[in-house]
Structure 1
Amino acid sequence: MDLWGKRDDMVVHEREPFNAEPPRTALAEMPLTPVESFYSRNHGPIPETDPVAWRLRVDGLVERPMELSLQELRSRFDEAELDATLQCAGNRRAGLAEVRDIPGEDPWRSGAVSTARWSGARLGDVLAAAGPRPEAAHVAFAAPDVSPVADPPQSFGASIPVAKALGPEVLLAWAMDGRPLPRVHGALLRVVVPGWIGARSVKWLTRVTVQAEPSVNYFQATAYRLLPPGADPVQAGPGDGISLGPLALNCDILSPDDGARVPPGPTEVVGYALAGDGRSVARVDVSVDGGHSWAQAELEADADPWVWRRWRIVVDLPAGAAEITARAWDSSGSAMPESPAHLWNPKGYVNNSWARIRLDSR
């Protein structure tokens, strides 16, 4: 089986399109996720790009439309480097599926989130060179990967507001962890939109269009929208539900693994927490008694709105069955909801309920 250079123990949800996540314990190993462990979310076959013929087109509501080769992009604009965490909107969907079935959607566990060091040109610098017109309000991205999920099949696309696009954190990335982008992660060029759902970080980028309205692409106008519990996703059309953009506060337990057998007594618990656009993680609480009492975990590294905060704590497990619960708070004072039952939706998006694992400590 072709794992696109991924580790052998990836949880593969689909082979075509390739959708896979690492085991949760792999994400606990280091702050930056190795490329071989980085999750992969795709909606169609992974395209192959001719580096000689490839051009990035910048057009729409701009004074100076451009076509740039990768070399022209690299030589004309300063290179920026940024650590950023990407998270699929369907991360932790399996927890919602335990509440009620979610047919037709990949049962992502806890691994559809990963962190890398990205290098590329700032999108804001490229837009400044093109000169957005006063009526510009959104920046749309286009790629050549055609997905049969849309009806009729169409290439993947998305957009973000101009205000976000001009932020110094949004990159047109050509490198990942100091190496050229792997094909599975968007080579030759991809967008990296920190703090927003991964679907907005479009891979295999070929076009940037400045426009007055959000993208009408299926994957923004119809998919990646939060529908009410009673809605039929098959019947949902453009504009239904809430368009997903900035990430919701989330956290999860990475080690020990759910269902693991561990000895009773002191046990180290490791996890991550991630806040949404422009916010930072302020606190993580951990409970071993179902939420009756809580202890604060130690947060690693300084608060950074674009990167997860890893956390750890040593808890004292009693003999027998045990449950560990974790919840996070962000810099706005917001906290995670307790139950996935209160969050269930027919597409299985945005499960940011309290994280739970069950252990056998006999």
Structure 2
Amino acid sequence: MLSRLVLRRVVGRYVGGTASVGGSVRSTHHQNHQQGEAKDYTQQKWWSAATILGAGAGAAFWLSYNYHAEAASSLTVGEKEEEGFGAYRSGLPEYTLDEVARHTTIKERIWMAYRHGVYDVTEFIAEHPGGDKIMMGAGGSVEPFWALYAVHKNPHVLNIFETYRIGNLAAADVGTSVSDMSDPYGKEPRRHVALKPSSRKPFNAEPPLPLLADSLITPNELFYVRNHLPVPDVDAASYELELNDELSNNEKTLTLQDIRKYPKHTITATIMCAGNRRSEMTKVKGVKGLSWGQAAIGNATWSGARLCDVLKDLGVEDGKTDALHVQFEGLDTDPASMPYGASIPIEKALDSHGDVILAYEMNGEPIPRDHGYPVRVVVPGVVGARNVKWLGRIIVSKNESDAHWQQNDYKGFAPNVDWDTVDFKKSPAIQELPVISAVCEPLEGDQVEVKEGKIKVRGYAWSGGGRKIVRVDVSSDGGHTWQATDTLESDSSRHPHAWGWTLWTTEVPVGKGAKTGSEVELCVKAVDSQYNTQPENFANIWNLRGVLANAYHRVQVKLKF
């Protein structure tokens, strides 16, 4: 079996050359963008073109440019609007796909095809942030790459791309560059209709907020979905997990049955996206990222083999290795065959009380495809981005993962840092998450019935690092006065191994003189077992990626007597 590391190196050498691979990557047409005048966006031209071409460069582009597909996911246009882009244009010369394929170097010019159009994008090669991996799209169609990355769902992109139009694709070749390509998102799993998508390709969605407070354990079908790439279709019967200790050069391959032979370990753990509640932070100032509400979080029971047991059989034990990190690679890959990747500190991985598991069950059932079937790593108390799904490879190393999501994303910055000044090397990767809470019911703008001078409020609270929620404070007057909640519901685990969330319920009094139609502002803040609490507002914790959004949750409601 060819290891993914070897495959990655082969792909890297291939892409760095002049071979054309654009026409060989499997994909279909991408939904494109709203038409407008390219001349209106001259100042953004270098960025937009880099974005257009960068998707073809896969993860390397993201590493250099730090801009996610999710940022523009809401800017798609309809099929009729997209027909204007790449359409046949009279008066232009005609080129065959064979002619396009000959233009794959700077000397020969870099050409690409899109629908009926042929484009010369040579001028942007030298300054392209993704480096020479842009050559993946050279001499072929950009559509395979555009089908993977929603970053192209920006109303400016196709306008700018059209400025590089040099000709029409020969009628006989139109569609042939992608006719044998399936949609990389064409085999996605079926999702529950209750999930509210924030993007569809890749699919990211959260459940209705009130549902979270209904059950301490979040049902699999209603657990939020966070995908970065297409969901791989993995056959459990042929599944293999590669393990590699870079320090000893020990290697091992485990099947699903091999993993199941280890003692089965079950934990209750909350997994939360670092961008949960980002939509509230954007009210201070815009950020780049999916506009998550308060439900990009869920609590489940997970069962599988302890990572420390598996690594022990590889010869990696606490106190007996100089490794500093354990890297994880998923089976979800980009066009350059680069997998989703992340890493955690070796101390967390080898701690028998750290409860890191190679999970194959979620809430007593095989893990659903959206959540990592057949095996994902569950790193309790740690940001969701490190809980790698569809686990394909584990690497014990002195180094952190070099994946984009470890190096150039999921990091926090001061409020004054913007995209012109950000240096991702200056901030550590997020691991344990801070204390957070949210009101699940009532919702913003609801009319709430007042009974005996009080209104009922319920929600969740959680803290990373195994810290237990010890108190939840709720206010009905915007934070001027507070009271502790009446009921806290959680599993029986204790600090520092309290991986699951706490659901809370209380009744708070409304001010004297309030009447039907009066508006009040509900606020909630949680306190964990180390007496950490939440910041009062988002202005002080704003950051350009909108992560770690854990300020007081505020909900405006109207009263009904």
1:252-278: CA deviation from partner (whole Å, max 9, x where unpaired)? 111112221122333221111111203
Could you say if the C-alpha distance between residues 235 and 341 of structure 1 is closer, same or farther in structure 2, counting changes exceeding 3 Å? closer
* Aligned residue number for residue 322 of structure 2: 135
The offset of 1:153, in angstroms, is: 7.7
1:130-150: CA deviation from partner (whole Å, max 9, x where unpaired)? 1125211110000121247xx
Write the mapping of 1:24-63 to structure 2, written as runs, cut at 5 A.
24-60=209-245, 61-62=247-248
Q: Is the CA contact 2:473–2:524 (under 8 Å) kept in the aligned structure 1?
A: yes
Distance in 2 of aligned mates of 1:284 and 1:22: 23
* Aligned residue number for residue 264 of structure 1: 450
Distance in 2 of aligned mates of 1:167 and 1:253: 34
Q: TM-score, normalised by structure 1?
A: 0.93
Higher share of residues assigned strand: 1
Gaps of 5+ in 2: 1-185
Could you say if the C-alpha distance between residues 234 and 106 of structure 1 is closer, same or farther in structure 2, counting changes exceeding 3 Å? farther
Could you say if the C-alpha distance between residues 88 and 253 of structure 1 is closer, same or farther in structure 2, counting changes exceeding 3 Å? same
Match of 2:193, SS?
coil
The offset of 1:241, in angstroms, is: 2.8
The offset of 1:25, in angstroms, is: 0.5
Write the mapping of 1:1-362 to structure 2, written as runs, cut at 5 A.
4-60=189-245, 61-62=247-248, 64-75=250-261, 77-103=262-288, 105-132=289-316, 134-147=321-334, 154-168=338-352, 169-233=355-419, 236=422, 239-265=425-451, 266-297=454-485, 298-301=487-490, 302=492, 304=494, 305-317=498-510, 318-319=514-515, 320-362=518-560
Q: Is the CA contact 1:18–1:41 (under 8 Å) kept in the aligned structure 2?
A: yes
Moved more, 257-266 or 26-35: 257-266
Letter in 2 for 1:336: Q
The offset of 1:111, in angstroms, is: 0.5
Deviating above 6 A after TM superposition, structure 1's stretches of 4 or more consecutive aligned residues are: none
Could you say if the C-alpha distance between residues 196 and 131 of structure 1 is closer, same or farther in structure 2, counting changes exceeding 3 Å? same
Match of 2:449, SS?
coil
The offset of 1:340, in angstroms, is: 0.8
The offset of 1:4, in angstroms, is: 3.8
Distance in 2 of aligned mates of 1:328 and 1:196: 18
Match of 1:242, SS?
coil
1:162-211: CA deviation from partner (whole Å, max 9, x where unpaired)? 11012341110001111111111101100001101000000000111100
Could you say if the C-alpha distance between residues 46 and 235 of structure 1 is closer, same or farther in structure 2, counting changes exceeding 3 Å? farther
Moved more, 127-136 or 232-241: 232-241
Distance in 2 of aligned mates of 1:62 and 1:115: 37
Q: Is the CA contact 1:195–1:246 (under 8 Å) kept in the aligned structure 2?
A: yes
Letter in 2 for 1:59: N
Could you say if the C-alpha distance between residues 56 and 237 of structure 1 is closer, same or farther in structure 2, counting changes exceeding 3 Å? farther
Distance in 1 of aligned mates of 2:337 and 2:275: 21
* Aligned residue number for residue 104 of structure 2: none
Q: Is the CA contact 1:339–1:353 (under 8 Å) kept in the aligned structure 2?
A: yes
Higher CA-based Rg: 2
Letter in 2 for 1:119: S
Distance in 2 of aligned mates of 1:64 and 1:124: 16
The offset of 1:82, in angstroms, is: 0.8
Q: How many residues align?
A: 357
Q: Is the CA contact 2:328–2:342 (under 8 Å) kept in the aligned structure 1?
A: yes
The offset of 1:228, in angstroms, is: 2.8
Moved more, 153-162 or 13-22: 153-162
Distance in 2 of aligned mates of 1:228 and 1:325: 25
The offset of 1:303, in angstroms, is: 5.6
Distance in 2 of aligned mates of 1:344 and 1:263: 34
The offset of 1:64, in angstroms, is: 4.3
The offset of 1:293, in angstroms, is: 1.2
Match of 1:26, SS?
helix
Distance in 1 of aligned mates of 2:197 and 2:527: 31
Q: Percent identity?
A: 37
Gaps of 5+ in 1: none
Moved more, 201-210 or 277-286: 277-286
Q: Is the CA contact 2:380–2:466 (under 8 Å) kept in the aligned structure 1?
A: no
Match of 1:299, SS?
strand
Distance in 2 of aligned mates of 1:231 and 1:136: 33
Match of 1:361, SS?
strand
Q: Is the CA contact 1:225–1:242 (under 8 Å) kept in the aligned structure 2?
A: yes
Could you say if the C-alpha distance between residues 147 and 260 of structure 1 is closer, same or farther in structure 2, counting changes exceeding 3 Å? farther
Could you say if the C-alpha distance between residues 3 and 52 of structure 1 is closer, same or farther in structure 2, counting changes exceeding 3 Å? closer
1:309-356: CA deviation from partner (whole Å, max 9, x where unpaired)? 111101233431111111011111211100011111000000110111
Aligned alpha-carbon RMSD (Å):
2.0
Q: Is the CA contact 1:63–1:130 (under 8 Å) kept in the aligned structure 2?
A: no
Could you say if the C-alpha distance between residues 284 and 2 of structure 1 is closer, same or farther in structure 2, counting changes exceeding 3 Å? farther
Higher share of residues assigned helix: 2
1:103-143: CA deviation from partner (whole Å, max 9, x where unpaired)? 3x110000000011111000011011111252111100001
Distance in 1 of aligned mates of 2:359 and 2:421: 36
Distance in 1 of aligned mates of 2:187 and 2:216: 27
